[in-house]
Chain A
Amino acid sequence: MSLETTMNSDTILKVEHLSMKFGGLMAINDFSFEAKRGEITALIGPNGAGKTTVFNCITGFYKPTMGMIVLNQKAGKQYLLERLPDFEITKHAKVARTFQNIRLFSGLTVLENLLVAQHNKLMVASGFTVLGLLGFPTYRKAAKEAIELAKHWLEKADLIDRADDPAGDLSYGAQRRLEIARAMCTGPELLCLDEPAAGLNPRESAALNTLLRSIRADTGTSLLLIEHDMSVVMEISDHVVVLEYGQKISDGTPDHVKNDPKVIAAYLGVEDDEVEDVISEVESLEGGVN
């Protein structure tokens, strides 16, 4: 593919001229950004800005009206995500995601949730069920390894004691952590998290920061993160992209974005000519924006 010339190898995701139209509504309008490998990239913006829609385009749940989404794997393989069906984006392109409104398999146990996430690997090991049904040892070995991997992530997410409880029985914060652990069990190169800190108390939110940092440090997984909680965004992200009304208004380091007048105006909702006044006000307060 000729893409390689246009793309640096330490870029994992490149979104170019992405547009998404719902009837007459332009939810995303010519949006471009890049996420670097091994970094935590945050996507922020006011309610209804189109952040979740961007995620849905990246993970194949929506087909964008226009634009290109390129995923660049570590091994050098490239995928055009807008052309892949949703499940293949996770299966082949190795992009996993969580949802803004948690989607767990509430009637399955916590452990089972993590085993379902290893479906494709286990499917191959069980000879597409045939060998597994006949009791071949390859499947038994793979099943054991799958449980070990699940155990690893349960320990990371601090859920090991709840392994045999139904997922629907967990508290809200634990459900959020389980959803992240489940996504990690698919073995992703890029993990997309849609508001992982929503509804968490400060202590849980601090634990989440630790979990996300350790995911990046231990597995090298790149993170793409939608978040309203600025304490999470400013603390852990390396790079912030700001979206408003489907358009990018700012892009850079957390410090840069925090002081960008357009961002402050977008969050505080002021007229363009008042922006200058706001900046000086905010600088004295330092970052307590939500």
Chain B
Amino acid sequence: MTNITSRHEGAAGDLTARALREALYAGLISLGLFVLFVGLKSDQNIRNELILVPRWGLLAIFVVIAMVGRFLMIAYLQPFLASQKVVNAATGMLPDSMASRFFRLPFFIAAVVVSAVMIAAARGLPDNIAAYATIIRGLAIIYSLACLFYMFRIFITTHFTVLAVAALVLYPIVIVAIFGAQGSLKWVDNFGIQILIYVMLAWGLNIVVGLAGLLDLGYVAFYAVGAYSYALLSSTFGLSFWVLLPMAGILAAFWGMILGFPVLRLRGDYLAIVTLAFGEIIRLVLLNWAEVTNGAAGISGVAKASVFGIWSFDVSAPNNFAKAFGLPMSSAYYKIFLFYLILALALLTAFVTVRLRRMPIGRAWEALREDEIACRSLGINTVTTKLTAFAIGAMFGGFAGSFFAARQGFVSPESFVFLESAVILAIVVLGGMGSLVGIAVAAAVMVGGTEILRELEFLKHIFGPDFTPELYRMLLFGIAMVVVMVWKPRGFVGSREPTAFLHERKAVSGSFTKEGHG
């Protein structure tokens, strides 16, 4: 890579030749990969016979995209990135610190003053000087705008948490204002609530995987325990959501301990396999213990949550929310209420996690992830430490589960398959293990992304009306994940915030932290 920047002329020809060669290889590989997947499509003809429909045009588009992409990457992107690196190494400055030197408040004020003076003075000047004044004025305005953007960005990054929470609180209000009560349903429910459920689940799993370093592939089991606890106890005993929410958490925590005991001695892959099996066992019990769980048919008509028992969302109830406030009947109120409920639950999870990290138990979890033997040599009981991680992680899964049951009004084993565990784990890994902000972003990208990909109608204009974009949803999703993992192998936020500091709080680079091995 270094010779590219040093020997410009001679290297340019080499580079183009190499880029062309690599593009050819990429084309061949993608041809080989896609010829059966994309090039041929199995279909039925009028006589119901299976026929193969060739789609050479589409295949050609795939191959060309791969070739062009590879060519641009080799010929332009890689040299550019390499030269960036050289520049950074030569100046010894990070791009960030350059920006902070370039954009300063006094400079900004000076630029504003200069542009104001130029505007005021422009009239009185002779024509030939006025042209220069215009240029200076333009530059000053551009600089002050850039300054504003820069300061805005700094403001956002330093106040991220407060701003993000404020934005989430305002979100339903803004959506209702834009789309009206009925039109807001999709945005509040599919994007808001759906994403926040996953944020909460991933934050719960983060305690087990991200902090304690115990790879749990069966987390969805606790979600299921929470959901069924609420569904069964509310339909059998008529208990309210607010009584059952903590109960579901406690039951899930209890199951977390039950899972914890047998797997205490296991590490790494073995732990992952046993937790995976545990998740499946819970699902199979729910499926087959039909007298209690109603088997595959699931439990329907699960009671809705109420506003602390004061207002209900049942249409027939006398204290119905809409009636109480004299509003027109709509399901939007319940959705908005649910949005704030899951937001509060998720924030509770975050708050507890942040608090716990500064407690001895939270530090012991992270120490356990780093080195279990050293933990024991310091007098830490690793058994109880692991069990509390499992139990507390499971508890938040249980909370989320009972919320899920109240939201859907229906639970069945279908909702708690392994894929769910995998998605939650993927969110934790993609976000950066241990980082709450990274995980929230990853959940928004993963869950919101799959939702947005449902709306790929515009691709029909590119590939023709026969193209069914929904089918490519998962493919695009997979590609996006691979890209992120190549680009940021430690997840969106790879560094770790220390829990205590003496002189200054410095983030710990991801290259020092371990992922844990069991």
Distance between A57 CB and nearest chain B CB, rounded to angstroms: 14
Tell me whether A96 is interfacial, beta carbon within 8 Å.
yes
Asked whether any CB of chain B lies closer than 8 Å to the CB of A163, the reply is yes
Contacts of B373 in A (CB 8 A): 61, 99, 103
Q: Given A147-B502, A163-B501, 17 more contacts at CB 8 Å? A: A87-B382, A90-B376, A99-B374, A105-B367, A106-B513, A107-B366, A112-B366, A119-B378, A119-B380, A120-B379, A133-B356, A139-B359, A163-B503, A167-B512, A169-B512, A183-B377, A186-B379
| Cα separation A89 to B377 with both chains bound (whole Å) | 8
Contact with A along B433-474 (1 / 0, CB 8 A): 000000000000000000000000000000000000000000
Task: Give the residues in chain B near A122, CB-CB below 8 Å.
Answer: 359-360
Is the CB of B504 closer than 8 A to any CB of chain A? Answer: yes
CA of A91 to CA of B381, assembled, Å: 9
Query: Looking at chain B, what size class is its interface with the partner chain?
Result: 35 or more
Listed A/B pairs (19) with beta-carbon separation below 8 Å: A97-B377, A99-B374, A103-B377, A107-B370, A107-B496, A108-B370, A109-B498, A109-B501, A109-B506, A112-B500, A115-B363, A116-B378, A116-B380, A117-B378, A119-B380, A163-B501, A166-B508, A166-B513, A186-B379
Among the listed B369, B378, B381, B498, which residue makes an inter-chain contact with A164, where contact means beta carbons less than 8 Å apart? Answer: B498
- A175–B379 CA distance with the chains assembled, in angstroms: 20
Q: A105, B500: Cβ atoms under 8 Å?
A: no
Using a CB–CB distance below 8 Å, which chain A residues touch chain B?
Answer: 59, 61, 86-91, 96-97, 99, 103-109, 111-112, 115-120, 122-123, 126, 129, 132-133, 139, 143, 147, 151, 154, 160, 163-169, 182-183, 186
Nearest residue, chain A, Cβ from B355 = A133
- B414 within 8 A of partner (CB): no
- Cβ of B269 within 8 Å of any chain A Cβ, yes or no, is no
- The reply to whether the CB of B15 lies closer than 8 angstroms to some CB of chain A is no
Q: Please measure, in the bound complex, the distance between the C-alpha atom of A167 and the C-alpha atom of B498, giving whole angstroms.
A: 12
State the CA gap A139–B363 with chains docked (Å): 14
Let me know if B505 is at the binding interface, CB within 8 A.
yes
Contacts of A164 on B, CB cut-off 8 Å?
Answer: 498, 501-506
Residues on the A chain within 8 Å of B509, using CB: 166
- At the interface, yes or no: B371 with Cβ under 8 Å from chain A? yes
Main SS class of interface, A: helix
B134: min CB distance to chain A, Å: 51
Do A151 and B502 form a contact, CB below 8 Å, given A86-B376, A129-B356? yes
> Given A129, A154, A182, A186, which contacts B360 in the complex, CB threshold below 8 Å?
A129
B104, CB-defined interface residue at 8 Å = no
Contact indicator B378/A111 (Cβ below 8 Å):
no
Instruction: Give the distance to chain B from A183, nearest Cβ to Cβ, in Å.
Output: 8
In the complex, which residue of chain B has the Cβ closest to the Cβ of A107? B513
CB of A87 within 8 A of CB of B360, answer no
Find the A residue at minimum CB distance from B371: A103
B352 within 8 A of A: yes
Q: Which residues of chain B from 486 to 512 have a CB within 8 Å of any chain A CB?
A: 496, 498-506, 508-509, 512
Known contacts A116-B380, A133-B352, A169-B512; is-contact A123 B370 (Cβ 8 Å): no
Q: Are B377 and A59 in contact (CB under 8 A)?
A: yes
Contact of A108 among B376, B379, B498 (CB under 8 A): B498
Partner of B377, one of A96, A112, A126: A96
Report A89 CB to chain B, min CB distance, Å.
8
Contact partners of B513 in chain A: CB under 8 A: 106-107, 166
Q: Identify B376's interface contact among A87, A112, A139, CB under 8 A.
A: A87
Q: Which residues of A contact B67 (CB under 8 A)?
A: none
Q: Chain A contacts of B369 at CB under 8 A?
A: 107
Cβ contacts under 8 Å, A133 to chain B = 352, 355-356, 359
If A99-B374, A103-B374 touch, whether A116 touches B364 (CB-CB below 8 Å) is yes
Closest to B381 in A: A87
Q: Write the nearest CB–CB distance from B51 to chain A, whole angstroms.
A: 58
Among all A-B residue pairs, the 4 with the closest Cβ atoms: A107-B513, A90-B379, A91-B379, A105-B370
Q: In the assembled complex, how far is the CB of residue A123 from the closest CB belonging to chain B, in whole angstroms?
A: 5
| A87 near B363: Cβ-Cβ < 8 Å | no
For the complex, give the distance between the alpha carbons of A126 and B355 in Å. 12
- Using known A-B contacts A107-B512, A109-B501, A168-B512, determine if residue A116 contacts B367 with beta carbons closer than 8 Å: yes
Most buried by B among A119, A163, A168: A119
On chain B, the residues within 8 Å of A107 by CB distance are: 366, 369-370, 496, 508, 512-514
Q: How far is the CA of A235 from the CA of B498 in the complex (A)?
A: 39
| Complex Cα–Cα for A89 and B382 (A) | 14
Residue ID in chain A nearest B374 by CB atoms: A103
Are B506's CB and A165's CB within 8 A? yes
Q: How many Å lie between the Cα of A158 and that of B366 in the bound state?
A: 25
By a CB distance below 8 angstroms, the chain B residues around A139 are 359
Q: Does B361 contact A (CB under 8 A)?
A: yes
A164 vs B498: C-alpha distance in the bound complex, in angstroms?
A: 8
Question: Residue on B with the closest CB to A121?
Answer: B360
